[in-house]
């Protein structure tokens, strides 16, 4: 169990009870491997070391438990991207290359946290069954990243750092390969496989992309 992470409940209050945190993290682990429907309350509480009935003192239902997991993931995702109002300032201080590399570093810090990686997998597994999982995937991950990058590339073009392609096209060309590679990265991490090849592919992609769009 991660010692220093804080979780919020549905009212936005920090969760302090040790068993409640244990339930959350055990559920995250099991859901990410077997899916929500493949895991029973019984299995979670057995692993935590409490009785089934005790879980209901912390969460009203199995579904609420998943809801709290997703709520906290939304918070964590929010920290990957720079706030839009800081975009212009950041791009004044960095060249395009640095800016994009910093984005990858931020993302890597996020996904290399085992808890985040697990919830990312839960979102993938549950996207067709659960509307909340789906909205996290579509709105918080895909759309948010693409529109952030669209603004960033528009600014880079304004600065003359990048050739004047449509910013939306640049965002898609830059990000979609990374989405595909992240899926693979996440699966390899799950299997404890070596991820150096796919990480190299990510780096190669950024280099290939920039070599064709930068003005310098």
Partner DNA sequence: GTCTATAGGAGGATAGAC
Partner DNA sequence: GTCTATCCTCCTATAGAC
Which residues of this chain interact with DNA, rule CB under 7 A? Answer: 17-20, 39-43, 49-54, 56-58, 60-63
Q: Is 114 in the site for its own copies (CB under 8 A)?
A: no
> Of these, 129, 164, 203, 215, which contacts its own copies (CB under 8 A)?
129
- Rg of the chain's alpha carbons, rounded to an integer? 20
Residues 198 and 20: their CA atoms lie apart, in Å, by 36
Choose the contact partner of 17 out of DNA, its own copies, none; CB within 5 to 8 A by kind: DNA
Task: Collapse the DSSP code of 214 into the 3-class scheme (helix H, G, I; strand E, B; otherwise coil) and give the result.
Answer: strand
Q: Are 25 and 2 in contact (CB under 8 A)?
A: yes
User: Going residue by residue from 193 to 212, which x/- string records binding to its own copies, judged by CB under 8 A?
Assistant: --------x--xx--x---x
Closest to DNA by CB, 43 vs 97, is 43
Selection from 139, 17, 146, 2 nearest residue 70 by Cα: 139
Choose the contact partner of 98 out of DNA, its own copies, none; CB within 5 to 8 A by kind: none
Q: Which residues contact 61 (CB under 8 A, 6 or more apart)?
A: none
Choose the contact partner of 189 out of DNA, its own copies, none; CB within 5 to 8 A by kind: none
- Token pair 């780096």 in the structure block, residue: 203
> Segment 35-94, which members bind its own copies (CB under 8 A)?
35-38
Closest to DNA by CB, 10 vs 86, is 10
Q: Are 123 and 137 in contact (CB under 8 A)?
A: yes
């Amino acid at each position: 169990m991660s010692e220093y992470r804080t979780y919020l409940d549905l009212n936005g209050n920090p969760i302090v009870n040790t068993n409640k945190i244990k339930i959350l993290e055990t559920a995250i682990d099991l859901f990410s491997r077997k899916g929500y429907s493949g895991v029973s309350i019984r299995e979670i509480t057995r692993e935590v070391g409490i009785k089934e009935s005790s879980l209901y003192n912390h969460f009203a239902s199995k579904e609420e438990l998943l809801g709290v997991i997703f709520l906290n993931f939304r918070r964590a995702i929010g920290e990957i991207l720079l706030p839009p109002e800081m975009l212009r300032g950041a791009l004044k201080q960095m060249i395009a290359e640095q800016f994009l590399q910093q984005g990858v570093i931020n993302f890597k810090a996020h996904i290399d946290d085992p808890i985040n990686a697990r919830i990312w997998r839960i979102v993938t597994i549950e996207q067709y069954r659960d509307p909340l999982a789906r909205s996290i995937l579509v709105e918080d991950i895909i759309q948010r990243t693409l529109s952030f990058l669209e603004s960033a590339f528009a600014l880079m073009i304004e600065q003359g750092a990048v050739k004047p392609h449509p910013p939306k096209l640049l965002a898609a060309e830059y990000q979609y390969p990374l989405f595909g590679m992240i899926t693979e990265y996440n699966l390899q991490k799950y299997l404890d496989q070596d991820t150096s090849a796919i990480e190299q592919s990510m780096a190669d992609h950024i280099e290939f992309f920039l070599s064709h769009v930068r003005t310098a």
